[in-house]
Structure 1
């Protein structure tokens, strides 16, 4: 839940979008005053839209007010695949999730019952990167070591398209927010954008000199960033495929690259033990967040973009303030490297997955460990919250996926 509203409007026949943040909204704030303030700074919101905006703000407020002392318990163990899992991902409402595996399939699951709905078969090698086309959730993309990406119906399990063109393994992918494009990143040093409707390649992003292992669209979908083993991150214009900036400064491979919610900042994690913040418009380095004693394996913003969390091979996670660029908290307790970190959409919890076979829940205000989710018998490489923040899925090298609620 990014605390804010994204406006879509027509200008010169083009659909544009603009984000308004509501980072200071509290459960006690006066809704009328908040809406007046929004209208004062945003002429796009006309009098006829006031009631709609008011309802949106009220809904956000209710979400904020919900108390967050939820204790998670193990709901179900899915012995999902005959070989290790590679990734897990939820659809937007969290009613379904998918698992990718070395067994060359992707499975679609019903979260509520833990039942398997579909097995997506057809790849000739490891299914490594998987995604729903959120927020819609009617399609799934799978990227494989067989060098292809496939597009499926999440309703029927039917394969719509097979995207061919990469000359090496596909290791990361993402839909744009409009769900009109799929981006794939490959060990062949390129990323490609594919048209969801036609199944044709739209553009190839060339310029990296080593594998691309991370890619991410901004919230409006007009830019995409790619992180590479060549120690750089590139910012591309989606429409033209032109490289706008190269973020140069890291001294090791990039592990993770993310935009914040209003697309003004980019955070990158690297094997050089640092996380760097960049101005997304100018491509300039804003700050280097240091302190970890080993590789930074994952980075994420909370949904307001005020906090950056980093996960490291040193077994700790850190929370930095995006504004002051200072380390606010160190999350200590794991006994092995932490490869995954994420906030719940409400911003009130941090989830970390580690090679010590546990997932931990932390309070981002105090740094306290609130819960240890135990039971996997091998390292955890993937963990995710649903949109409500009341269900967690964890994927492990032990070939199982667990649902916690």
Structure 2
């Protein structure tokens, strides 16, 4: 508690109630939640220190002219990519926050992904374009045609042999990425017949909002759609081997209509331990065991739609981005929020871990791309698992 100033006492009335300290008259003191969460009382000086730590732990890498819809961190370099509603992709050096390249698109950039070797960037846009870019030059390798619906999600397999895209018309298509890279020299491909290894897993259906390859098995693809279904695909056989739905797994009595918008799957992540995380419009995150197709956890902590989820590289932590303007870091196995990151103004659309797992990249409605030092942000609690 702050030391008393007897000379000022007649001019103040201090209210201490429910952890709130505020001036009711005279000179303003402070307003804050003074509980440290462990029963400690936090002094104004300590609150200043915490605010300073929070400020130094988060950096604004840069900004777009409109909402940032997707971010990705390259594993072998400090390169960050961000895709925006302003129809551009920007490549940033996260060490100096400088724009390395700015790439133009026909429509908003809904998703993007680096290949695991860091040699290419794949971007998907609302106009239906899928572009392959060579790095670090950012030269266009190919534009993949034949996509009738807007591209909602893109993914590459761990071995960089397969590229998959999910579309607004429900289509899921795959290509032999390694063959495309070896057969093109920077020219846009004219027709779908020119695409090596082109295949369709799903022709039409509910909008595909998210797709993700298994980080170990390059033949296993997971998709999440507007109807609330998570589908497991055998890419080689072009077969849907299993379908997971929240309505079939939750407790009896919950709404189970496939038309229920709250069940929409908006984001997916798969870790090497064989678990799927799905973010939903009902503000929940569900954890599924891939081996037995069982729902193992339902994480609740956000107030609005969960727009994106991402596992840390070792699979132990989960980051979630929400329309409630926050990012949460979870110990998902304990169903516990380790920390909540505040800073974006408006919806947070995308999150991505660095390869080391100690930095998180985010993008949102405010048009900013931010970098969070998880070692120091929120008093170091983000990594206290």
Scaled by the length of structure 2, the TM-score of the pair is: 0.64
Cα contact 1:143–1:150 (8 A) shared by 2: yes
Match of 2:281 in 1: 271
Alignment of 1:134-283 (within 5 A): 134=116, 136-196=117-177, 197-198=179-180, 199-206=195-202, 209-220=205-216, 221-249=218-246, 251-262=262-273, 264-283=274-293
Please say if 1:90 is aligned against 2:73.
yes
Offset at 1:249? 0.9
Offset at 1:313? 3.0
Q: Distance in 1 between matches of 2:363 and 2:136?
A: 30
Closer, same or farther in 2 for the Cα pair 1:289/1:188, shift >3 Å?
Answer: same
Deviations 1:233-278 (A, max 9, x none): 111112222112111015521121111233x111111011211111
Please say if 1:304 is aligned against 2:314.
yes
Q: Rg bigger for which structure?
A: 2
Task: Report the 3-state secondary structure (helix = DSSP H, G, I; strand = E; otherwise coil) of the residue aligned with 1:93.
Answer: coil
CA RMSD of aligned residues (A): 3.8
Q: Distance in 2 between matches of 1:167 and 1:271?
A: 25
Offset at 1:360? 7.8
Cα contact 1:217–1:225 (8 A) shared by 2: yes
Deviations 1:315-368 (A, max 9, x none): 4554444434x324452755754444454544456566565788584758x983
Cα contact 1:361–1:370 (8 A) shared by 2: no
Q: Distance in 1 between matches of 2:148 and 2:332?
A: 38
Unpaired runs of 5+ in structure 2?
1-53, 181-194, 248-261
* Pairs aligned (count): 298
Q: Distance in 2 between matches of 1:332 and 1:84?
A: 19
Deviations 1:80-122 (A, max 9, x none): x66665434332223433343445443445556666555545x
Offset at 1:137? 1.7
Cα contact 2:75–2:354 (8 A) shared by 1: no
Deviations 1:144-165 (A, max 9, x none): 2221212222244433322122
Q: Distance in 1 between matches of 2:359 and 2:80?
A: 20
Alignment of 1:78-117 (within 5 A): 85-102=68-85, 104-109=87-92
Offset at 1:229? 1.1
Task: Report the 3-state secondary structure (helix = DSSP H, G, I; strand = E; otherwise coil) of the residue aligned with 2:170.
Answer: coil
Scaled by the length of structure 1, the TM-score of the pair is: 0.61
Task: Report the 3-state secondary structure (helix = DSSP H, G, I; strand = E; otherwise coil) of the residue aligned with 1:368.
Answer: helix
